[in-house]
Amino acid sequence: MICVDTETTGLYLQHGCTAFSIGVYDGNTFTHSTVPVSPRSRARTCSHTQEIKDRIRSAETIVMHNARFDIKALCEAGVFSWDDPVDPAFWRRVIDTIHLAHLHNSTDRLSLDNLTALYLEKEYPQEDELVTTVNLCRALVRKLELDWDIAREDGEHCSFRMCGSNTEWNRMDYWLPAAVLESIPVSLRPNLPNARLSRVLLEYLQADVTNTFELAQFFFHQILVKHGDKSEELLNINRQLDHVLWKMEYKGVWLRSQETRAAIESCYHYINHLKQECLSLSGLDRLTDTTIRILLFENWSLPVVSQTKKGNYSVNAETLLRLHRDAEPDSTAYRFLGSYLSLKKYEKKLQFLQSYLNNRTGKGHLHPSFHASGTNTTRFSSSNPNIQQVTKAGNPYEDDAPYVANYLRKSPSLRSCFGPAPGHWWLDCDYSQLQLRIFAYVANEQGMIDAFNKGWDAHDYVARCIFSLRDTETPTKAQRRIAKNVNFGFIFGASPKKIEQTAGIRGLWSTVTSLFPNAHAFIEETKAYIQRHGLVYTVGGYPLALKDYLNKHTGEYEKAAHAGVNYIVQGAEGVIVKRAMRLCDDYLTSEYPEGRIVLQCHDELVFEFPAYFPKKHVWNIVNLMEQAASEYGIHAPVDPELCTQSWNKSVKVQR
């Protein structure tokens, strides 16, 4: 077993970089080498570079912290080929301490230094010194415009691609490798203590690999003691997707550049107009939270709606919307608030659109990162960009603020900027009401389960129960909304008070508990369990810690208790969807390699296939996703939709 860590050049790998420092630790000795990856690199090649590469290649077990990140670097450095990690067998010898740490305690901050401090009770070598040293070097490189192939953020001046492979998809930002530090001529570094230059970095590299090694041992021991024979199965919940995520990140998501540019134009058009209007209505010279706060609550003396955590008067959308509705129609405040709300929406949208365009690689793909251990609950997180927060079409003010809605009606949909690459189609598979179904099943609420099985709408069903409607009656819009609040309250583990507050009905909770006795009992049992054990188990036995539990004596316990219900439900969702992804990827690999998973959005999987692909694959995928849920005892139907143009326009697939 060896531990491997890499330190990469400090700018964007997507535009090329100079060299990597690679550290290896086998439990006894630490060795390192710097591997130049650019043909023009001035980094010195260490004599034992080849030896290190061979050791990594032939190692039986490689332990890394956040393995996908370092493996990208190792591919860049030529240790592995870019296709190696596509094979699930490749990952059988990779142990990722981030997965171990997540299983050990899912609420820990999973950074190496934090885990080291927590469990090894060790200090890192002078991180401050490393940071300042590296920053000095970067500044020096920038200032003197040295002729090193260190990539630049703007990318325009650095066009070469390394190793003839697709290296555009990955961004890294970290330290300068030791060889680069050493190669700065002594005469050019008056502020840098010579001997320390690379020593600091190497100390850090050594600390990283040895700590990773020790953490792996610690976590393995803890996990085996706690979970015994189930350890492998539990670890597999995240490990099973290592190669799947590799492929997803590598191939990326197609961005429709034309639509994106058009959407940006459209945003600018409205922003210019609305900004002028806001400025002239308010007499302000700039629009920030602070100036708005003064304008509304001091100059205009509008009533305070709520306060922020720090005690400032809130100026969020909810507040502004209420003030807008309470204002005299056509008054200055009314018009200002309406325009400002619309302006903010457009500005937010523009922000997203520009980030998409900026993150795009040469061929027009975005390459979001997916983090299997990125949440407390086993759900995924996504970043650069976060593909899980791309807005659907819709006008949030359509119902209750026509003045605002009017401005937003032509607002572009962000999902329309994504879609299948030319010549392809997307298959978009959604679990229907997955979270609510999970809740019904884990709470063993038979009436709800029956309703689901009959194909009823969950919100309608609960509305009928609460308002004791006859079969012939349909719930009103308001009744449905209240039922929706109750349902979400169940899922989120909201407190009775909160549920009654959002629904606006006092005494609602006692109605609900009598209507759904098992659900109520489940919530109470969960709370009692948390009080005793400080954690919950979701389906499949994966433990989910509750970080606020330790503070229970200071009142945080109640919070943790309510969160516990939510953890079980979200955790089950995460586990099920991960299983589904693995099943679908296995299926595609063996039966239809032209297809692939493009992205995951919590209860939604998106696949890309060649246009006019055989329809049978739709139903096989649907069946596999449903199978994943049923393996955990949950019946959850999947609705397949087809996108031929954009993510925003999908058509239900008929049986």
Partner DNA sequence: GACACCAGCAT
Partner DNA sequence: CCCGTGCTGGTGTCA
**Residue ranges in contact with DNA by CB under 7 A:** 135, 288-291, 308-312, 314-320, 344-345, 348-349, 351, 355, 371, 374-377, 379, 381-386, 388-392, 394, 396, 485, 488-489, 492-495, 497-498, 501-502, 547, 555-556, 558-559, 562-563, 566-567, 570, 601-604
In the complex, what is the shortest distance from the CB of residue 26 to DNA, in angstroms, rounded to a whole number?
Answer: 32
H/E run at residue 402: helix 402-408
* C-beta closer to DNA: residue 22 or 438: 438
Structure token digits, residue 502:
């959002």
In the complex, what is the shortest distance from the CB of residue 45 to DNA, in angstroms, rounded to a whole number?
Answer: 31
* C-beta closer to DNA: residue 242 or 430: 430
Q: What are phi and psi of 471, to 5 degrees?
A: -60, -30
Q: Are 253 and 366 in contact (CB under 8 A)?
A: yes
* C-beta closer to DNA: residue 55 or 365: 365
Output the CA torsion 140→143→145→150 (10° steps).
Answer: 50
* C-beta closer to DNA: residue 102 or 617: 102
d(CA 586, CA 241): 11
Count CA atoms closer than 13 A to 179's CA, side-chain side.
28
* C-beta closer to DNA: residue 236 or 291: 291
Burial-class residue 388 by CB neighbours within 10 Å (0-12, 13-18, 19+). middle
Q: Are 34 and 67 in contact (CB under 8 A)?
A: no
In the complex, what is the shortest distance from the CB of residue 377 to DNA, in angstroms, rounded to a whole number?
Answer: 5
Structure token digits, residue 305:
């709606």
In the complex, what is the shortest distance from the CB of residue 28 to DNA, in angstroms, rounded to a whole number?
Answer: 35
In the complex, what is the shortest distance from the CB of residue 22 to DNA, in angstroms, rounded to a whole number?
Answer: 25
CA 226 vs. chain centroid, Å, equals 29
* C-beta closer to DNA: residue 147 or 285: 285
In the complex, what is the shortest distance from the CB of residue 81 to DNA, in angstroms, rounded to a whole number?
Answer: 28
* C-beta closer to DNA: residue 69 or 567: 567
In the complex, what is the shortest distance from the CB of residue 423 to DNA, in angstroms, rounded to a whole number?
Answer: 27
For residue 69, CA distances in Å to 58, 75, 102, 152, 554 come to: 20, 10, 17, 20, 39
Output the CA torsion 449→454→456→462 (10° steps).
Answer: -40
H/E run at residue 346: helix 332-359
* C-beta closer to DNA: residue 93 or 142: 142
Structure token digits, residue 341:
């709300």
* C-beta closer to DNA: residue 214 or 626: 626
* C-beta closer to DNA: residue 3 or 565: 565
In the complex, what is the shortest distance from the CB of residue 204 to DNA, in angstroms, rounded to a whole number?
Answer: 16
- Give the number of other CB atoms < 10 A from CB of residue 604: 17
What type of residue is 373? S
What type of residue is 321? L
Q: Are 184 and 192 in contact (CB under 8 A)?
A: yes
Structure token digits, residue 643:
């996108």
* C-beta closer to DNA: residue 87 or 558: 558
Cis peptide before 385 (omega within 30 of 0): yes
Q: What is the DSSP letter of 392?
A: P
Residues 6+ apart with CB under 8 A from 510: none
In the complex, what is the shortest distance from the CB of residue 288 to DNA, in angstroms, rounded to a whole number?
Answer: 4
In the complex, what is the shortest distance from the CB of residue 568 to DNA, in angstroms, rounded to a whole number?
Answer: 11
In the complex, what is the shortest distance from the CB of residue 294 to DNA, in angstroms, rounded to a whole number?
Answer: 10
